[in-house]
Amino acid sequence: MVQKYELLSELLPLLEQYEAETTMKEPSLMSFSTWLNRQLSYPTHGASGGNDKEAVADESSETILTMLISYLNRYAKHYSKKALEDTPLSTIDEFTFLATLSYQESLTKTELIQAHLLEITSGIEIIKRLTKSGLLASFSDPNDRRSKRVKLTPKGREVFKDVMEKMDEVAHILAGDLSASERDQLLPLLYKLNDFHSVIHRQDRKTDLEEIREKYLPKEEANG
């Protein structure tokens, strides 16, 4: 009988700590779960070389989420750089351009760039590099002579096929030691977050942050 409530005796001090720290007017089980997960799952080493739990103890969950997403992006770039060594490609953006065109007969330059959430100038430079390397070919859009379309060349398809195996390895490494069940839990959350931001990117890309926050975030979250 004592063992039955041993976990509860460990949980109650944490619940008391949560209630003392939270600024929410009406704490919820979901917010407590998020707080508890944060308390128990900090990595022991971080980019600063110190203890992450101490360094970010006063940060909001939103700030920590942003930090961790930023770290994952850096890890992805690091692994991708290794995978692209000794290939005609030099960046992950070049690879994703080829990947998109591998299942599209062709796209306008603008469509291809926007599909990757890049600025036009940056995207054009990538297209120029891939074209110069003989991986892409551009041609006039038959429906709009002012617009240029791009497609993979035979060489581009061959390079993409060769590099794909290495990038699959990158994806495997980046997923880390998450179990299949953990990946199944994480993916819907990432899809939800991506869907949220894709709407803003399409409709309010040039809107200032205050307006975006007011328009898209519920007041209880914006003030929480």
Residue 39, SS3?
helix
Tokens of 174: 């980046």
Among 160, 120, 116, smallest CA distance to 151 is for 160
Among 19, 168, 159, smallest CA distance to 80 is for 168
**Confidence check: pLDDT of 44 > 80:** no
d(CA 208, CA 216): 12
pLDDT for 144 equals 82
Region for residue 150 given its phi and psi (left: phi exceeds 0; alpha: psi -120 to 50; beta: otherwise): beta
Phi, psi of 118 (to 5 degrees): -105, 160
Measure CA of the first residue to CA of the last residue in the chain; give whole Å: 39
Determine contact, residues 155/135, Cβ cutoff 8 Å.
yes
* pLDDT tens, residue by residue, 158-210: 999 999 999 999 999 999 998 999 899 999 999 999 999 999 998 998 999 99
* pLDDT tens, residue by residue, 20-30: 777 666 666 76
* Average per-residue pLDDT for the chain: 84
d(CA 206, CA 57): 33
Environment class of 82 (CB within 10 Å of its CB; exposed 0-12, middle 13-18, buried 19+): exposed
* pLDDT tens, residue by residue, 53-97: 445 445 677 888 899 999 999 999 999 999 999 999 999 999 999
Tokens of 129: 């590099």
pLDDT for 45 equals 44
Kindly report whether the global pTM for this prediction surpasses the value 0.75: no
